[in-house]
Structure formats: C-alpha cells, structure tokens
Structure 1
Amino acid sequence: MDESSSEVEAKVLEDVSLPNTEVEEKVSGDTSLSNTEEIHLKPEELIAKAIAPVKREHLRPRPVRFSSNGATDRRVSENKSISSNVVTEKKSKRQFKRERQQEQKSPQHLCPVVAKSGTVSSCQYADKCRFSHDLEAFKAQKPADLEGNCPFASLEKPCPYGLACRFSGTHKDGAPAENLGAQKMSSEMNGLSKDVQKLLWKNKMSFLRADAQLKCLGLSSLGNSKSKNIENKDGSDQDVLNGSIACHESNNKEVDSDKAMDCTPVALPERGVDVEIDDVRPQKKAKCPIDENCCFSEVDNGSTLQRNDLEESSVQTEAETKPSDDCLTETDMSLKSHPREKKLIDFRGKLYLAPLTTVGNLPFRRVCKVLGADITCGEMAMCTNLLQGQASEWALLRRHSSEDLFGVQICGAYPDTIARTVDLINHECTVDFIDINMGCPIDIVVNKGAGSSLLTKPMRMKSIIQAASGTVDTPLTVKVRTGYFEGRNRIDSLISDIGQWGATAVTIHGRSRQQRYSKLADWDYIYQCARKAPDALQVLGNGDVCSYLDWNKHKSDSPRLSTCMIARGALIKPWIFTEIKEQRHWDISSGERLNILKDFVHFGLEHWGSDNKGVETTRHFLLEWLSYTHRYIPVGLLDVIPQKLNWRPPSYFGRDDLETLMASESAADWIRISEILLGKVPAGFAFAPKHKSNAYDSAENG
C-alpha cells in the first residue's frame, strides 16, 4: 500500500479539487462580504473569539448557503452538494440484525474453514454449516484485491483468512493450511476463553474473593443474587473459582457454608424503587463493622475460604455481632491499611494516553505507542456487560504486546458489580492497573447510576473503591470530574478520602459533568486538589493538553501533579507525544500524516482481519478518527503557535492538495481519504460519526 497507492492517491486528490473550485467560483462574490470580519481581524482578536489565526494567504472563502426565508447561513461546507455516502441517522439494531441475516445467506459470507483451506470438504459441518460453501459464487462476487501486501505476510504461517483475504493475490502458493487460526492474534492478549464465557452466560461463575471482601465490608448481596447462583442440576458443568476449576459439588458445600457465615445485615432495595437483583444497593450504615480477623480469614493472600474458618464463623453468637465499644468506627476502618501490600505504578512524568471511547481502540493505541506514548488504557467497558460474557465488551480489554504499561477502564454503579468485575479481570487478563470511571458524562451511563452520577454519592464511591481495592492486588485508579454541577466542585473535599479508601492514583478531568466538553478545563482547581492529596495518592490532570507547552506549564505550575493525561489532543494530533518528548513544535507534512494513517490501517487489518469484513471495520474506525484529525492546523499556517484545543479552524488552503483534503470537515472527503488507503467503498456505503463534533454538524449534514 506504499508505492502502489501513489497513483490511487493522485487520482483521488484530482477528483477532490474540482468540486471545491466550482463552489468557490459560484459563491465568491457573496462570500467575500460574509468573511470580511474574519479576514481583517488581527491574530489576537481572532484568538479572543476562539478562531484559529491562520495566515491570510491560506484562507479560503466560505460558501454561503441560503435558508428558505432568504437569510444567509454561514456554516462551513467543503462541498455544496450533499453526498449520498453521508447519513443523518444511524441504523437501528433491527436493521443491523436484518442485514446480518441476509449477509449470512449470501455467497459473500463464505465459511471461514473453506476460505482457509480452499476445499469445500474441509468443513466438518458440511451442509449443516450456517455459512456458504459456494466457492465459485464467492470468487465471482469478491471485490478486487487491494494494493499492497497481506498484513500477515511477515508471519511464518499462512494468512488466517485464505481466499477471503483482500490481498490473496500476494499469498505464496503451496503454503501449509494447518493451524491457520492460531497466529491471528499472536501478538495480542486478554482474550475471553469459551469455557469462561459459557459460565458467565449461565451465571455459574463464582467470585469467592470478591464476595468475601463484600461480606467483610457489610456489602453482601441478596442470597438469591444471579451472580451467586451457581446451582447445577445435572452436575455436569464445572465452575471457575478465582481462576481454578473445581467440581460443582464442592462449590455447593462452600457456598452453603458461606451463607451460614453471613452474619451481617443485608441492605434491601427501598420500596417503590426498581433495582435488578445483581445490582443490590449497599447498606448505608452498618451496625458494626466486621473485625480484622474476619477480613484476614476470608481474603488473606487471595486464598479461598477454609473449612475451619467457615465452621467457626457459622457458630458466632448474637453477642459477637452486636455493637460494642471495641468495634472500630467507620473512620477508623477507612484509615486502616489493607492487609495485603499493593503493587505500585509510578505515573510521574510519563505520557498517558487517555481511555477514549470508540477511537481509543487497539490499532490507535499502537500508533500512539510508536509516536511516544508511555501509558495506554483500553476503552471504557461496562461491568454488567463483562459479567454477562459479551464478546464485544471483552474486546475492549484486549492488549497488544507493545503496550508495556497498560490498564483497563471499567464503569459500574454498585460495589458488588465492580468487585466481581475486577476479580474476573484479575484472573482472566494481564493488566498493570484497573481504572474505575466515575466521571463519564454520557446520559445512558449516568441514568444507570454510574459514571458522573457517583460524584453525587460519596458513600457509594467509598464502597466501590474499598470493595474493588480489597479484592485484587492490582493497582486501582479512579477517574473523576470536578463535580456534577457547574460551579459546585466537590472533589477537593474527597481527595484525601479517595487515597484512604484504596486508590493509588486519581485522574481529575477539569470540567463538571454539566459542562461535558465545553469551556476550558479548570486547571487551577486541579492544582488545588493536588495540593490537598495525601503523599501516597498520585494526582493526574486531564483537559486541553494540545502541545508540549501546555504539558510543561501544568507540570511546572503544580509540582505535586504526577502527570497529565492526554485525550482529545492525541485524537487531533497523535504525534503530540513526540513533540513533548522532543520539546518542539512538529510542522508535520501531509505525507508524514498519511504515513501515520497507513500505520493505523496496517494495525487495523492485523486486528480486525484482512477479509472484506475486516477491511470495512478498519475503514469505519479510520473514518471515526478522521472526524477528529481534520481539526489539526499545520504549524506553518498559523500566525500564533501552538494551536489551542478550543480554537475553531477557519476554512483554509493547505500547502498541497493532500493537506487541503485533510483539512476538510466534509465526511465525503474523509471517505475519499479512506479510499486512498483501503480502496473504493462498497456500493451503498454510508457513514455517520458516532461522536459528532461541532465542526461535523456544520458540514454536509446541515
């Protein structure tokens, strides 16, 4: 895709430049008047209006669109005509399901086993297989091969997609066909095994370590909780107990003893409130905390409950469970150190790529690692979906071997759900830390009581952090916002408690939930929180870091700040990590930017596959990323550097056609860039970004 794609690139750029020129000629007379203000303002005046000060010789006139009443609409549009490739609404789940069913019945959906071997007889299911076995029909409708080499060519074994690979013409003839699927994810880890997934589907997974910690804290769930129901009527299944397989008969005995041991009151849902059984609310105030010996007997060194301990606990007298003067107060319990030592991660001075929904996928993180990122974190995964064994949610936890310091981010509403999730992750995944998202502002998350909703419930925050940190030895970090409502910050009053509850680090996004991503981040408040934090708690800042000068300023203004998390700045210019390490403004060329996109495509084909489905999945996530990268303004075109994250880029000409194309905020032009790298889009292709930015809203969708 390197040398051979140059002709395709030139053709696409030639096709792109013509419509824009025609639009400019048609509206140039009216546009000069509408853009007079921006063109003649001084750079400092433009900055005051949050408009990027692009050099005048590179500014281009904006087309003026007229509404029905004759008034002008000055919103920017690179192309005047609305492209058929851009959709205004997303498809429903029913539409996607119907399309998948139709696709399975078509010859295009060739059986993977047949595709790998090239022979119909290789599939063990024969006529009962739900995939197509019609090789000739598949070859007749298969799209033309893409330019370049197969992404799996460097492996010693053959391509795992065989005839279905979009680079099958470059495959070596006579390659052996055995063990073809083994090397597909050879450099990736944290996959969910089928055995564990089946146990999660059947609600037969046991979480002794998590449940023991919940019991110790007085946060036990109802006895008939789905996540604790491990009854097996036929006795044929086996359960996983903290990573080890044990026969079901012994599990029933342990659970029965475990129930006999539960001497703490259970918090029942309030009357009139609909609550799922497995999301039981923690009790607000325990009559008496469990003593230190109970904690040691249940969770010491992660061992399972012993028979003697269970018997001793089951014969506790009523007097032992009543409050006494010797019981530790709630404050003392929070100050008491945990029996097991926590592993520590030093975040100080390291470049931390934030967990980014949709765009922060594994191929994008690999690109950032190449460009200098030190710490990476997976996309936010919902605890309830992980505990249900959803493959799509577990895919968010996958890790590449190049990610040497990697964490996963989870989100949940209740301590029992989160404790069992971290217990499961601890045994099924290889991670360096686990981050709990308590700052997500998305409505669907907040309405379930998770994310930013927890900022209004400090006691729930305490229960979650204590339950999770006491369940695993893996370092636990927390991500929060300044508060829920604008002007009512509250993290400064909780910062010392967060460290005592068991978190090793906290990331503070300098905006409230109500602000979402509008207005500038309040770094003065982040500094204030860092000063109040205990020495054992590392504080990380997050918000509006878009250059190495931003990074240096925040680090110098607050020596107590461990590091800065980089989020949207990395989406717009992933080479920000290189700039920070080399302490320079990189005036990156359009060709260098295209090479970064090529790396992403290569990593994407390795991750999602080189067949037609993998190519289109890679294209989809490339387009999602391009919906951010077009906001980058080259250093050489600015009157004032560096670019700030809140600057709105005006319409401008780049220094070459490719740079101009990359600056377009038209989704149709993003699709053209994808065609440079992945060939023509299929018939009926449509794209709408999952995260519509303000710039996108002003583009072709009106």
Structure 2
Amino acid sequence: MAEPTAEHGELPAPEATGDVPASSGTNGARRTPEELVAKAIAPVKSEFLRPPPVRQGEAAPEARAGAPQSGLVKEKKSKRQLKRERQQEKKSALNLCPEIAKTGDISSCHYKDRCRFSHDLEAFNNQKPADLEGECPFLGAEEPCPFGLACRFSGTHKDTAAAAATPSSHKKNFEMNSLKKDVQKLLWKNKMRLPKSEARLKNLGLMVHNKSVKKILEEVESKEPASEDCSVANGNGCKDAVPSEMTSNLDHPQEVAKEDGAIAINDAVADETRPPKKQKNVLEEENSTSKAENGTPTLQSASKESHTLTEQEASTDNMMTENDRSLKLHPREKKLIDLRDKLYLAPLTTVGNLPFRRVCKSLGADVTCGEMAMGTNLLQGQASEWALLRRHSSEDIFGVQICGAYPDTVARTVELIDQECTVDFIDINMGCPIDLVVNKGAGSALLTKPMRMKAIIEAASGTVDTPITVKVRTAYFEGKNRIDSLIADIGYWGASAVTIHGRSRQQRYSKLADWDYIYQCSARAPDSLQVLGNGDIFSYVDWNKHKSDCPSLSTCMIARGALLKPWLFTEIKEQRHWDITSGERLNILKDYVHVGLEHWGSDKKGVETTRHFLLEWLSYTCRYVPVGLLEVVPQQLNWRPPSYYGRDDLETLMASDSAADWVRISEMLLGKVPDGFTFAPKHKSNAYDRAENG
C-alpha cells in the first residue's frame, strides 16, 4: 500500500484551508441532515468530508500529490485493427497450445503442425510473466489444474500423487448447464427438434414465424388503433386493449387473431384429418410450409431435410397435439415454486454473473437468477449466450431469465432450456428498458401489446412443466400504469409468479419506485399467483416496511442494492445495520476473485476476464457509504455520496469514483494490469437516473 497522501491520509481541518465543506449551503452554513436527505445527498459526518474543489487557477490536491487521474476511457478500435491484434496474438509464443500447457509434452497435441496455437515451449517459458501471489484455485480438485503451465499460479501446482491425496473441495462444488457440442451443432444447422413447443403452438393456433410474416404483421399492427389505456371497468380485462374484431377470437381455441405476430387459423377443426386451407398470395409464396401426410403445416427452414417429417414422426406429432389438447395442465396442476419470504437476487446484466451470485449466496441469498438471455441467440447456439444459463451447485433455488418478442421464439427457447438445463423456474423478461431490446419488440415493448403477452405466457407455460414466472414494469409510458388490469389474467395465462418493478419504461431508473402501485397490484392478484415487488430496497428497514405494508406480497426482489452491498442479504436475515470494515469488504472481493478464477480460468485470459468483471462491479460498490460515517442511518439507494475520506486508507480508496482507483484495487488482488490496459464501465453507474441495470 502506498504511503498516505493528501488523498488517502487524514482529513485536513476545513478551517485551515478557509474553504466551505461540500455539504454546506450557499451562505456557508452547514446544512442539516434533513436538508441533505431532502436533496438526496448522503449526510456524511462533517469530520469525514473532503474540502471542496479548489478555485480556478489553483492545482487540485490530487494533482499536487501525484495521484492517478480518472478517465481510463477505452479507445475505440476499428474491426480491422481488432482483427490484426487477434492475429498477432495467435502468432505470439505466449499463445501456447492448451494440450501442451496441460501436459508439458510437445507431442501431446494431435493437430501437430495444423494447430493454430504455438508449440514453442521454450519461448513460452522465456516470455511468461511472473506468477501472481496466492494459490491456484484448482488445487483442491481431483485432477490437476486444467491450464497447466499457462496458469498464472503454476508455481503452486502439486504433483499428481499429492493432489490425489489432498481432500477435494471441488467434489461438492461444480457447475452445470453447459452447452453440449452435439446440441450446438444441431442448433447451428437448425436441426434441433422441439416437438412440445410446436405442438403447443399448433394447439393455440399460433404458427411459427419467419421474417416475411413478421413484416406483414407489423404492418397490420401499425394500422390498428393505439391501445395505451386498458380499461377494466366492464371486467373484460385486457380485451379492451385490442380492436373489437380481435376480441371475438379470444374465446375460441381454434381461432387466433393476427395481433402481435400470430397467423390466424380460421378453419374449424371439427375434422382433425382435414388439412387446413392453403395460404394465399404473399403468405403462400414467402412462408411456404412443408406438409406431413396428415396435412399439418410445419416449419420450413433453409435446410429442407431437417424438417421433412417421416410418416412415423408425423403421426407422433399429431398424437402429441391431441394429447396436449386433452391433457392440458391447469396452471395450478403444474410444478410449483415457493418464493414467499425468500431473499431473491434479481437477474443483473453484466454484473450478475455466476461468481457474483456465488458471493451473494454465501452472504444469505435464497433465490438466484441468471442474467437475461436472448431467446433467438440461444436457439442459434451462441456459446456466449448459453454461458448466462450456467448454474453452480450451491444455487439450490435457481432460475434463468429469457427475453423474446414472439410466442414461437419463447416457446422453443423454454423447451430447449427444459430439455438441456437443470433449472427450478424460467423467468420471462417483459420489462427490460434497454433500447436494443425494446426496438426488437421484446422487454418493455410487450407492455403495449397485452395480447402478445398472453400468447407468450400461454405458449411457454403450456410447453413445459417447469414453473414460468414473469418480470414486468408498471407500464411503458409514464402515468399510464396498466399491470393492475392484467395481473389477474397473468395468473390465468399460466404464470406462477410475477415480479413488478415499480417504475415505467419511460422512467427508467429516475425517481423512486412506486410501491403503492405494487401494493395495489398485489391486492388484485389471485391467490395462486405470487407477486414480488422490486425497487430501491437497500436495508432491512426497507424490506420490513414493504412486507408489513402489504401482507399479500410474497417477497421482495433485491437488485441494485446487492450490487452496492452484497451483504444486504445478511443484514436482512440478522435484522441489523452492518458497519462493515474495509478489510471485511476486501475479503468479499477476494472471495469473488477466487470463484471468478474458477469460473473463467486461471490462465492469462481468465485472469483478465475476472479483472474486467471485478472492475464493472467496483463501479457500483464505490457508491456505498459505511454506516459509521453517516449521520442518518440507513443509506437510501438514491442518495448521492459527497466526496469524503474513509476511516482508513483502504476505505478511502473504495469510496473513490475514479476508474484509476478501481484498477488499483484490482491490482491488489490480480497483480499489475497488462501494458496498454484501458477500462470504461459498460453501465454508467455514477449516473443514478440512467443506469441500465437493476
């Protein structure tokens, strides 16, 4: 640790500088804690406050002390430049073949001269950087470290006999839900058969989409009147939100309107063996379907042989469709998941990865959920998207969250996950505010299309027995809340639970969450539907208040509060404000780094990946103000902390909003950063009203 400086040492007396503390008013008088709280400023005790910024023309204390400056902005590189760097890295001697690194034998690679990695073991040893401090995270495993010589802790490796004699801590700790190579190849070639979802879609009258059909239906939707107000005065629920000619189809299982991407099937199904009427015009030319011998239309892909049904397969599909109609499970007959009074860690983009969930689990979280995964990417076999479904053995109640704009995409994704993964529930995101998601018709965009919400939930819940949950916001537009009019229908459509984030999409994360509206929705929900509230929970006081104010609320989901202080779960369970020390916080970061190296690897790439996600997390933790420094307890999530000194150098460093200081913390745990290292947080966590997470 560096010697104390003006930035990390003791606080100089404000009187000595003649400056006014940052939390003072315009007349120089000290603001009261109540005034600071009213302005959403954390009321830090005066003895810990930094002096205000110096006047123009004077050098800043940090600059005089030679402290590193913030602003490690990532340089934007062209695709050609990035490709050139990747090619140069492949030619580097440090890019050693994994097989040779694991065994230390040059002849172990079966690709020989065709291998795209380096086989120069001597050059690798000469250029390899020094080992990092600490032990290899795989020392307790039954097998040797999978990264061998490439491990940044290779000096601590034991011989095979000693490793076998050492009790293994990895026997009970393992990861699951990995993407199998044979499954990935089938997905790449669009040959993965998902009969349950196709049978369910046919039963609902929903045919599988392609681009041309989506385009036509979007044109139809654009001509329909806007449906922002969803009246429930006449008790018809969301039927009032669609044109009258479409509501007539809601009560007929054989007929479905063209709203929201569904192709209408207007043929009566009195005779199951009679083929449906042939599609005409554009639908016939652009959405051609291959027909089995019984006349049932099926999806036609670019690879015709993958979807050409044999006589036996066609009869099986027909049987499944009939069984699905006759043996359809009522939502209350499906598998149940009990979330009541459990501490639920929300799915968090980028930061809510498996190592972070493991840390939260060790600190008291009961339920965990993976980051949001796009259904289309999962169906394409993208390994990076499937990584979001990974589960650790310590996550005893675990769910995955998916996002999709159309019923066929969601139904097929749900069946694929149920078939290939071990999960306790599947959550469908209908509240994501990010433009990239909304512009594709998913996330919050679904709040403007209740009939598509209905189709998606019914298709998903009828495809698998795994409980289906839904996450929504209050509305798309500010001041036009509509979930209260849909809450009963969501339970009837087949959802086991619904989480309501108390903000609209237009509101994003500005202003406080509307918990009164969450209470109103919870009161209208049927007994079979569990309602969870989400928004601004940052202490056990917040948790207790929401639970006592609304007994019908099943539980509360914890999101950004866990990013700032993951020990929030411990505080709730122990009903106390934990004045955690900087050393205890550093130990939590050490635990994160350890499990991160287990997850991403202990080689050079794994170390830098762990560092990247650690820095993303540190961009949130700097907003936490220790309990012992506050005049008013507990801290609220919307409070902006002023510039302050901690009770020791490490606490001061952790309070810094400078990216350079976050990098310094990462170097304490993972060694020096590589030459030319840059970092810019993916989410603007210091912009309280524009954060994309939560």
**Paired AA for residue 269 in structure 1:** I
Match of 1:164 in 2: 150
Deviation (angstroms), 1:311: 7.3
**Paired AA for residue 32 in structure 1:** V
Deviation (angstroms), 1:84: 8.1
3-state SS of paired residue (2:613): helix
> Structure 1's 506 and 272: CA in aligned 2 closer, same or farther, altered over 3 A?
closer
> Structure 1's 84 and 558: CA in aligned 2 closer, same or farther, altered over 3 A?
closer
Q: Counterparts of 1:574-613 in structure 2 under 5 Å?
A: 574-613=566-605
Task: Determine the C-alpha separation between the residues in 2 that align with 1:62 and 1:573.
Answer: 27
Q: Deviations over 1:611-661 (max 9, x none)?
A: 011001000000000000011111111111000000000111111111111
Gaps in structure 1 of 5+ consecutive residues: 1-10, 227-265, 299-303, 316-332
Task: Determine the C-alpha separation between the residues in 1 that align with 2:107 and 2:13.
Answer: 62
> Structure 1's 562 and 97: CA in aligned 2 closer, same or farther, altered over 3 A?
farther
Contact (CA 8 Å) 2:206, 2:263: kept in 1 or not?
A: no
Confirm whether residue 189 of structure 1 aligns to residue 168 of structure 2.
Answer: no
Q: Counterparts of 1:42-61 in structure 2 under 5 Å?
A: 42-61=32-51
Deviation (angstroms), 1:207: 1.3
Match of 2:502 in 1: 510
Match of 1:414 in 2: 406
**Paired AA for residue 430 in structure 2:** M
Deviation (angstroms), 1:156: 2.3
3-state SS of paired residue (1:50): coil
Task: Determine the C-alpha separation between the residues in 2 that align with 1:175 and 1:480.
Answer: 54
Task: Determine the C-alpha separation between the residues in 2 that align with 1:314 and 1:284.
Answer: 18
Deviation (angstroms), 1:141: 1.7
Match of 2:189 in 1: 202
Match of 1:282 in 2: 261
Q: Counterparts of 1:542-553 in structure 2 under 5 Å?
A: 542-553=534-545
Contact (CA 8 Å) 1:24, 1:63: kept in 2 or not?
A: no
3-state SS of paired residue (1:408): strand
Confirm whether residue 114 of structure 1 aligns to residue 106 of structure 2.
Answer: no
Task: Determine the C-alpha separation between the residues in 1 that align with 2:339 and 2:90.
Answer: 47
3-state SS of paired residue (2:190): coil
Match of 1:147 in 2: 133
3-state SS of paired residue (1:269): helix
> Structure 1's 190 and 31: CA in aligned 2 closer, same or farther, altered over 3 A?
farther
Q: Deviations over 1:9-62 (max 9, x none)?
A: xx2x43x74566799999995853765329710000000000001111111113
Aligned equivalent of 1:397, options 389, 397, 400: 389
Deviation (angstroms), 1:204: 1.0
Task: Determine the C-alpha separation between the residues in 2 that align with 1:198 and 1:58.
Answer: 59
Aligned equivalent of 2:632, options 636, 640, 663: 640
Q: Deviations over 1:421-440 (max 9, x none)?
A: 00100000000000000000
Match of 2:216 in 1: 269
Confirm whether residue 554 of structure 1 aligns to residue 554 of structure 2.
Answer: no
Contact (CA 8 Å) 1:20, 1:78: kept in 2 or not?
A: no
**Paired AA for residue 449 in structure 2:** K
**Paired AA for residue 39 in structure 2:** K
**Paired AA for residue 542 in structure 1:** N
Task: Determine the C-alpha separation between the residues in 2 that align with 1:451 and 1:408.
Answer: 15
Per mean C-alpha deviation after superposition, the further-off stretch among 503-512 and 79-88 is: 79-88
Contact (CA 8 Å) 1:192, 1:394: kept in 2 or not?
A: yes
Match of 2:53 in 1: 63
3-state SS of paired residue (1:661): helix
3-state SS of paired residue (2:205): coil
Per mean C-alpha deviation after superposition, the further-off stretch among 104-113 and 372-381 is: 104-113
Match of 1:452 in 2: 444
3-state SS of paired residue (2:677): coil
Give percent identity, aligned residues only.
71
Contact (CA 8 Å) 1:413, 1:449: kept in 2 or not?
A: yes
3-state SS of paired residue (1:32): coil
3-state SS of paired residue (2:469): strand
Task: Determine the C-alpha separation between the residues in 1 that align with 2:426 and 2:266.
Answer: 31
Aligned equivalent of 1:32, options 17, 20, 37: 20
Match of 2:683 in 1: 691
Confirm whether residue 470 of structure 1 aligns to residue 462 of structure 2.
Answer: yes
Q: Deviations over 1:210-232 (max 9, x none)?
A: 0110011111125xx59xxxxxx
Match of 2:658 in 1: 666
**Paired AA for residue 47 in structure 1:** V
Match of 2:288 in 1: none
Contact (CA 8 Å) 1:218, 1:290: kept in 2 or not?
A: no
Contact (CA 8 Å) 1:23, 1:80: kept in 2 or not?
A: no
Deviation (angstroms), 1:206: 1.6
Aligned equivalent of 1:343, options 319, 335, 347: 335
TM norm structure 1: 0.80
**Paired AA for residue 633 in structure 2:** I
3-state SS of paired residue (2:378): helix
Task: Determine the C-alpha separation between the residues in 1 that align with 2:205 and 2:98.
Answer: 50
Aligned equivalent of 2:365, options 350, 353, 373: 373
Aligned equivalent of 2:529, options 533, 537, 542: 537
**Paired AA for residue 632 in structure 1:** Y
**Paired AA for residue 155 in structure 2:** G
TM norm structure 2: 0.80
Task: Determine the C-alpha separation between the residues in 2 that align with 1:523 and 1:33.
Answer: 35
